[in-house]
Amino acid sequence: MKKFLILLISITLLFAIIIYYTFTWGSELLSTIIADIIPAEIQKQIGESSIQSMDIKEFEKTKLSVYTQTKIKKQFYQLVEKDSNEVVLLFRKAVYPNAFALPGNYIIVLDSLIKMSKDTLRYADVMGVLAHEAGHLQYKHSLKLMIQSGLTAAIVGYFIGDFSAFAATLTHQLLSLSYSRKYENEADDYAILLLNKNKIPTLPLANLLERINQYSNEKNIPEFLSTHPVTKERVEKLKKNSNFSSFYN
Ligand SMILES: [Zn+2]
C-alpha cells in the first residue's frame, strides 16, 4: 500500500513537472512563433492602444523643452541607425523615471528619467537606456510577453469558464511590463553592442541604473530594473564592457 502511494505521488509529481515545462517552454516557443506572424500593422495597433491606455491612466504631456527632445531624438536615431518611420520615440511625464518598449516599434521615455541624466551634452546614460529598449523591440519582447500572459489567462479562462481574467490580464500587462531575466539579458547585450558600435561608453548607463536603484521604491521599479535582485550583476556586466574612456575628452 505504502509503495503504491509513493508510486502514485511520484507519477503525479512527474506529470506536474511535465505539464509545467510544456506550459512555460511551450508558451515561450508559441509566443515567438505568433509574434513573428502578427502583421506589422496589427503590432502597431496593439502598441497604439497600449499608449492610449497609458496616457489615460498614467502619463501627462512631457514638460521637456523642444530643444531637449530634439537633441535626444537626434542622438537616438543616430544610435539605432533608423528613422522616425521605423521607430517612434515618444516623451511623456510621470513622477517616476522609466522607459518602455511597446509593440509596433514604440519607445516611451519619461521626463524624470531624462532629468536623472548626468550628461546633458550627449546623454550617454539615457542613450544606454534607449539602446536597452531598442533591444526589447528588436526581439519583440513586449509583444511576446503580451501573447504569453494572454495565453496563460486564456487557458485558465477556458478551464474555469470565465474570460474576464483574460481581458484584465491584458490591460494590466500593458501598464506593468515585467520581463524575464532572459529578456533583460538579451536587451542588455543588444544595448552593449549598439553602444560599443557607436563608441558610447556603457559606464554612464551602469551609473544611471545604480542611481535609479537607490531612488526607486518597490512600487515603481522602472522597466529596465524590473529584475531587481540582479541589478548589481547587470551593473557589473555593463561596467566590465565599458570602453571608450576617451568619450568625455
Ligand atoms: Zn528591459
**Same domain, residue pair 106 and 187:** yes
**Same domain, residue pair 119 and 21:** no
Q: Which domain holds residue 29?
A: 1-37
**Same domain, residue pair 84 and 102:** yes
The set of residues, in sequence order, having a beta carbon less than 8 Å from that of 39 and lying 6+ positions away, is none
Cβ atoms of 31 and 62 within 8 Å: the answer is no
pLDDT at residue number 179: 78
**Same domain, residue pair 27 and 55:** no
Beta bridge partners, 60, equal 93
pLDDT at residue number 221: 61
pLDDT at residue number 249: 44
CA of 147 to the centre of ligand 1 (A): 17
Residue 194 has pLDDT above 90, yes or no: yes
**Same domain, residue pair 216 and 111:** yes
Cα–Cα distance measured from residue 116 to residue 7, given in angstroms and rounded to the nearest whole number: 59
pLDDT at residue number 3: 80
Q: Is 52 exposed, middle or buried (0-12, 13-18, 19+ CB in 10 A)?
A: exposed
Cβ atoms of 92 and 110 within 8 Å: the answer is yes
| Rounded mean pLDDT, 148-152 | 72
Cα–Cα distance measured from residue 34 to residue 39, given in angstroms and rounded to the nearest whole number: 10
Cα–Cα distance measured from residue 117 to residue 98, given in angstroms and rounded to the nearest whole number: 12
- For 28-84, how does the pLDDT look when each residue is reduced to its tens digit (9 = 90+)? 787 888 888 888 988 888 888 888 888 888 899 999 999 999 999 999 999 999 999
Structure pTM? 0.80
Average pLDDT, the chain: 82
**Same domain, residue pair 53 and 11:** no
CA of 137 to the centre of ligand 1 (A): 10
Domain tally, the chain: 2
**Same domain, residue pair 160 and 234:** yes
**Same domain, residue pair 31 and 45:** no
Q: Alpha helices of the chain — where are they, by DSSP H?
A: 2-37, 40-57, 66-80, 111-115, 124-138, 141-160, 164-175, 181-197, 203-215, 231-240
CA of 225 to the centre of ligand 1 (A): 7
Cα–Cα distance measured from residue 24 to residue 43, given in angstroms and rounded to the nearest whole number: 23
CA of 177 to the centre of ligand 1 (A): 9
CA of 68 to the centre of ligand 1 (A): 24
Confidence band for 147, pLDDT divided at 50, 70 and 90: confident
Cβ atoms of 44 and 104 within 8 Å: the answer is yes
**Same domain, residue pair 111 and 231:** yes
- For 96-124, how does the pLDDT look when each residue is reduced to its tens digit (9 = 90+)? 888 989 889 999 999 999 999 999 999 99
Cα–Cα distance measured from residue 3 to residue 118, given in angstroms and rounded to the nearest whole number: 66
**Same domain, residue pair 171 and 188:** yes
**Same domain, residue pair 171 and 95:** yes
CA of 191 to the centre of ligand 1 (A): 10
**Same domain, residue pair 160 and 216:** yes
Cβ atoms of 241 and 188 within 8 Å: the answer is no
CA of 248 to the centre of ligand 1 (A): 26
- State the residue for C-alpha cell 555593463: 238
| Rounded mean pLDDT, 190-199 | 94
